[in-house]
Structure 1
């Protein structure tokens, strides 16, 4: 295989590799960097030594992704870029077959919110198998685990991401936590806010000017408490299959859409979009009458 042929075949694989890396890392910019690094490594290889280019590239991209994920554990601020998550918003009418379908369809979207709770090996095993159908024996070779161990990692990650999936009772409990947050924010109940926020909660707000990050229950509660002074109406909805919140101003214009991650009765992460252009692209329910 000549260098020109190798480059042409790499370009044919590029789209798949970027998609894979973005699913694992949750960042388009990081995904592009990973694939570029894979190309640089490919340039240093003897083409005659590569029997299966697609498999070789999958392995290389996967290993680079693991390195990136491990570095994020040391430098957590590197885990995100400024791209807001894609949000799928619907009415929260209880656990119905339609809700289950929405949850299944939105797993890929919700990865941007929840994948950071997974370890690097869990994350890679889950994405490669459940999203890209890579066999577990190949995943095991990539991450240095047995086939059975890779299956267990993917299964554990799947339970964390999908909630296995959440039962009607679990969904009701999660919704009640978000309702309690809303009620406390409406009345400025600081203690009530602290009761439903995890001590290490993170709130990322995607505004027209960039991303604002608030960390810790005290800081998040203080910001939410100030909502008592704003003239908005808010209610609970489903965002990416989980309880969330949409807020409208008195004219009925959407002001924000928020995804909430609830674990063990407390909100551990909130991701909001307040950029009007982004909100306009989301299919939102009508404001309360």
Structure 2
């Protein structure tokens, strides 16, 4: 593999690797450093001897993160500089997998109560679907031991799930139904009067305030030719949308308070969407 091809292959993995390291270390700067270290090691390696580049890089980044966590003298949350990109999972997946997606900045603090090995096992397997055989190799443990570490971490994380999650999701589903129908009155009923919608676009952040303004903007987009699916976004009920050709268009999460949507956070910036690693949607599989 030529140097140019190797660099290109690495760049394809960079977003995912930074996401892994960010959730391991809690700091974007430290995550970037860990990924850069992986690149330096790759550059010194005979790439033709690597059968699975994605797995190899994940292993290197995982081990670098373990070393960083073990050597820290201050608590990891002290070095948080910005929240990681939201993790997104479709609601059709298993309950335990949905649990894992609730790891936002608040839950990173909970992860800091875990040992480095527990944290790595949980992050790699539950958040990024790395098999326990690979997790075990990174940790120098058997697959069963890695599974036990992840299970132990999962039990500690479980308590952070909101007790009223099902009712929150029902509110968001009703909101989506009203949005598809362009039902302005229905939208107003489901929005808190002082709702705030923060949208991260390619041009920067756009903020809309108040139920009327938000409902008007949503109603205008009702005729858009998009496919949507319910999702959990950093543990909050939300939705992912694609164009009819399968291009990812946006990710949205909602904060529900007393049966109404009090806050909406959405991302349509292509750069940030690419960093989320949302599974592609195939038009032929749409219902």
Query: Which TM-score applies when normalising by structure 1?
Result: 0.51
Q: Which residue of 1 aligns with 2:166?
A: 172
Superposed, 1:64-213 pairs within 5 Å as 86-93=85-92, 96-103=95-102, 106-108=103-105, 130=110, 164-167=160-163, 170-213=164-207
- Render the CA deviation track for 1:232-260: whole Å, top value 9, x for unaligned: 12121111122111111111101111111
The change in CA–CA distance for 1:184 and 1:284 in structure 2 (over 3 A counts) is: same
Cα distance in structure 2, aligned partners of 1:213 and 1:192 = 22
- Equivalent in 257, 261, 264 of residue 258 of structure 2: 264
CA contact (8 A) 1:109 1:240 kept: no
Whole-angstrom CA distance in 2 between matches of 1:181 and 1:163:
27
| CA spacing shift, 1:132–1:282, aligned 2, 3 Å | closer
Distance, in Å, in 2 between the alignment partners of 1:27 and 1:225 is: 36
Compute the displacement of 1:84 (Å).
8.1
Deviation at 1:107, TM superposition (A): 3.4
The answer to whether the aligner puts 1:226 opposite 2:223 as a matched pair is no
Alpha carbons 2:107, 2:160 under 8 Å: kept: no
Aligned in 2, Cα 1:239/1:203: closer, same or farther, shift over 3 Å?
same
- Relative to structure 1, is the Cα distance of residues 109 and 281 closer, same or farther in structure 2, using a 3 angstrom cutoff? farther
Structure 2 unpaired stretches of 5+: 1-21, 30-72, 114-157
* Post-superposition offset of 1:262: 1.4
| 2:270 equivalent to 1:276 | yes
Instruction: Give the aligned partner of residue 37 of structure 1.
Output: none
Q: Is the 8 A contact 2:200 2:267 kept in 1?
A: yes
Cα separation, partners in 2 of 1:279 and 1:206, compared to 1, 3 Å: same
Note the alpha carbon deviations across 1:192-247, whole angstroms, 9 max, x for none: 11111111111011111111000111111110011123211212111112211111
Q: CA RMSD in A?
A: 3.6
Unmatched segments (≥5 aa) in structure 1: 1-18, 29-53, 56-60, 62-80, 112-126, 134-161
How far 1:131 moved relative to its partner?
6.5
Q: Give the match's secondary structure for 1:284.
A: coil
Q: What is the CA distance between 1:101 and its match in structure 2?
A: 3.2
Q: Which residue of 1 aligns with 2:231?
A: 237
Distance 1:164 1:208 in 2: 32
Once residues 193 and 273 of structure 1 are traced to their aligned partners in structure 2, the CA distance between those partners, rounded to angstroms, is 20
Counterparts of 1:214 and 1:163, CA distance in 2: 33
